[in-house]
A = this chain, B = another copy of it.
Amino acid sequence: MEPTDDETGPALPPVVAAAWGLRERAPKGPRPGLTLPSIVAAAVALADAEGLAAVSMSRVAKELGAATMALYRYVNAKDELLTLMVDEAYAEPPGPGGTGPHWRAGLARWAWAERAALQRHPWVVRVPISGPPLTPGQLSWLEDGLRCLAGTGLGESEKMSVMLLLTGYVRNDALLTAQIQEASAASGRRMDEIMPEYRQLVARVADPARFPALREVIDAGVLDQEDGPDDEFVFGLDRLLDGVEALIRGRTTA
């Protein structure tokens, strides 16, 4: 039988219900040997250790000492497992920052916290999103971010747009970092070997007549010095928060 949608509206997707802990233990049948949380935990541990590519149904099952098909009693398809893994990674939101006029410090703290979470679980940004966020972890993060913007005079729609922009920035940074690290590992070279080599290759391939601006970058030595792991993140975050600040100033002044 289909889940009914009575007057409360459409039914929750099963994976969402599972994430919120709304599962009725069946009265009959043998006691389950596995549990959904243990499956998700095993998959997360595996992804942390060996990357998302190592997370196959058979591999997760092996990690649990079960057979591949046993997992399908708990999860309808692999992407449901992925959704639950992502929500697990977003457990423990940063908490509401200091309230009041400290929106900028609050959002910065929020962004650094998301960045830290994504560094603990770099595979999260490789999971294709399957819809707008509905799971408890992701909604908690959103809640904590929105609270930072409480006293700013921004409209509710603008607050959502700011959060979308901010999380997009953090996630894109994490994606880039993860991909670079993966590529570096695959090629067997470390980053401090790659960058000087990259500068040489670009210099060889980029004809000065056709790429003058790029040539200036090369000649300035920008591609030689490898910047600290946080420098680029700090730069972008500052620009982004400056942009939000300009918006807020415009609102409160007008």
Whole-angstrom CA separation of A201 from B235 in the bound complex: 37
With A9-B197, A9-B204, A246-B246 known to touch, is A156 a contact of B239 (CB < 8 Å)?
no
Whole-angstrom CA separation of A28 from B20 in the bound complex: 66
Task: Give A contacts to B, CB under 8 Å.
Answer: 8-10, 12, 16, 20, 128-132, 134, 136, 139-140, 142-143, 146-147, 150, 155-162, 164-165, 168-169, 171-173, 175-176, 179-180, 182-183, 186-187, 194, 197-198, 200-202, 204-206, 210-214, 216-217, 220, 222, 227, 232, 235-236, 238-247
CB distance from A243 to the nearest CB of B (A): 3
Assembly of this chain: how many copies? Answer: 2
Residues of B within 8 A of A197 (CB): 9-10
* Pick from B183, B211, B212: contact of A139, CB under 8 Å: B211
Q: List 8 A-B contacts (CB under 8 A).
A: A132-B198, A134-B201, A156-B216, A160-B217, A165-B240, A168-B169, A171-B172, A243-B243
CB distance from A38 to the nearest CB of B (A): 24
* Pick from B131, B180, B220, B238: contact of A157, CB under 8 Å: B220
* Pick from B168, B176, B201: contact of A173, CB under 8 Å: B168
With A139-B202, A156-B222 known to touch, is A179 a contact of B128 (CB < 8 Å)?
yes
Say yes or no: B213 contacts A143, CB within 8 Å. yes
